[in-house]
Chains A and B, each alone.
Chain A
Amino acid sequence: MPKFERWMALPGVLVLAGLAGAVNKLIYGEHALGTTAAVPWGSLIAGYVFFAAAATGAGLIGAFAHYSGRPALASIEKPSLFLALSMLLAGFGLIGIELGNPLNMIYIVFSPNLQSGIWWMGFLYSIYMGLLMVECYFSQVDPANKNLKFVSAVAVVNKIAAVCNLGAIFALIATRPFWHGFYFPLYILLTAVLSGAAALAAAMWLSARRQGREADGEVMAALGRIMLAALVVTALANAGKVFLGLTGGDPALREATAAMVSGPLALRFWALEVGLGLLVPLALLAKAGGGQRVFRAAVMVLIGVFFMRLDFVMAGQMVPQVVVEGVQHVLMHGYTPTWTEWALTGGAVGAATLLFAFSETRFDLGTGATAARGKAGGTAAARV
């Protein structure tokens, strides 16, 4: 049984709040959520996308560390696996509670629809979880196993396919112009790397603080550089999306983009997604600085990316569909997450934090000391 540490009280409270939210959802079903027939997907879907994409991004950065052989990144290889698994499980928890009938998931196997993006999501992310478990297992018991190289290569392909398919779930819906098109699968891959790097930086810094030492400067600097590069591209992609959205020919796309930049979502978009999630971290990371600066930027990026997911899910559904020409009951559909949704999202954050902390205590992730980093580096070399 892992030992309780004082800092665990905060994620522990979040998990308890999440459990309360889960019970409320089980009792009241859809009525416990702020979603409606007009806005059927809410913050739990956004939260799931956030966790699944961040887990994939962390896994991709771990694979980059694995194959690049860069000494500065060697020590994140094992933590990236366990962190990805922790976040993926938290995401699965969220989506499991959001689904109306999760037990019917058995029909994903017995009655598969290969045309459905959600079917592929279940398939690819289940494989991802399985591969992560295999990689975590071998990282502990037999890091030099020759089959691990093959597993890691399959996992890289699987991660890219899984996260792009996650984007395609939205992108293939022709009825929602804000989501529709090739843009989102690539955008979610990019922002998965951004949020994965941020999650890893936050985890590495907190892990070091937990042990009463400073985080490894080289590791934090390397993660900071990945975040900086991803932030620059994300900022450009966002600017492009907004420009094309506002000047494009589709009225529904224009209205959805306008809702984001100057409508009901504007405050959240500019303050949290752009300001807190993009510009401030960019300014922090552009300057040279220690691990704490990278950690602060990482936390802001994680908050910003969560609201980026929420804004994206909302903007796609807010503009009413034109079913009958000339009929529009509301200018925009409204949606406000309920306490149940916030509690569940917070619970998932707490659960991911505690799962990683417990795995760090229980297994050898190489985060203990500088000497352990050398060992992890040797492991990476042996595996490649």
Chain B
Amino acid sequence: MAHYAMLIDAARCTGCAACRLACQMQWQLPPDVFFNRLEFREAGKYPDVKQEIVPVQCMHCDNPPCATVCPTKATYKRADGLVLIDHDKCIGCKYCVVACPYDVRQMNDRGIPEKCRFCAGFIEKGEQPPCVSTCMNNVRVFGDLDDPNSELSKKMKEKPVYQLAAEKGTKPRVFYVKRGG
């Protein structure tokens, strides 16, 4: 069984937002709904300052608080690592939106929360998620962590990585390459 994950080398990101647009096109989302976003922050100390970009999306946590709080198991964790939402079971209580420490869930017009799906269905056919394939700088690497020969597994060994808000105990499956690592 595959165990999918993503590695993001944020230092390579130009901030073009093609990943966000590709995702919106893939899932036919309205302009104000997006499953991934770019966070911009200032780093360094004047006069030696620079702008850093950090792409953020659903972390497909191994210990997902959104799934723990869902009263009907509408949000669930698949054996291959994906955290998905069964729209037919969702009551629209928004408990998952409140509980997510990454602010990645958005409500759609049907009163159901939406978020990154790691492009389930496409990846099973061996395709890459559009946010990965559209990126001109190969910021994102998607793959199977259980396969030692996958590009992801190899890249994960090359540089030190970290996870966002790891102290929350969510065990995210989206990893970030440490800057200057």
Chain A: number of interface residues, binned into ranges: 35 or more
With contacts A113-B71, A175-B65, A324-B56 taken as known, whether A40 is within 8 angstroms of B94 at the C-beta atoms is: yes
Query: Complex formed: what's the CA distance from A122 to B93 in Å?
Result: 12
B107 touches A176 (CB 8 A): no
Cβ-closest 3 pairs across A and B: A100-B92, A100-B111, A107-B72
A107 touches B107 (CB 8 A): no
The majority secondary structure among interface residues of chain A is loop
- Which residues from B are CB-within-8-Å of A112? 71-73
Q: A interface vs B, CB < 8 Å?
A: 29-31, 35, 37-38, 40-41, 99-102, 104-105, 107-108, 111-113, 115-119, 122, 169, 172-176, 317, 321-327
Q: B122 within 8 Å of A by Cβ?
A: no
- Which residues from B are CB-within-8-Å of A100? 90-94, 107, 110-112
B111 touches A118 (CB 8 A): no
Which of A115, A118, A119, A324 interacts with B54 by CB under 8 Å? A324
A-B contacts counted at CB < 8 A amount to 127
Instruction: Identify the interface centre among B70, B88, B93: most chain A CB within 10 Å of its CB.
Output: B93
A-B contact pairs, 9 of them (CB 8 A): A99-B92, A99-B111, A100-B93, A101-B92, A104-B72, A104-B89, A107-B89, A111-B73, A324-B164
Write the B92-117 contact mask toward A (1 if CB under 8 angstroms, else 0): 11110111111101110111100000
Q: B39 within 8 Å of A by Cβ?
A: yes
Nearest-neighbour CB distance to chain A for B11, whole angstroms, equals 14
Write the B1-23 contact mask toward A (1 if CB under 8 angstroms, else 0): 00000000000000000000000
Q: B interface vs A, CB < 8 Å?
A: 39-43, 54, 56, 65, 68-74, 88-95, 97-103, 105-107, 109-112, 164-165, 168-169
Measured CB to CB, the nearest residue on chain B to A328 is: B41
- Which residues from B are CB-within-8-Å of A321? 101-103
Nearest-neighbour CB distance to chain B for A25, whole angstroms, equals 10
Query: Complex formed: what's the CA distance from A323 to B68 in Å?
Result: 20
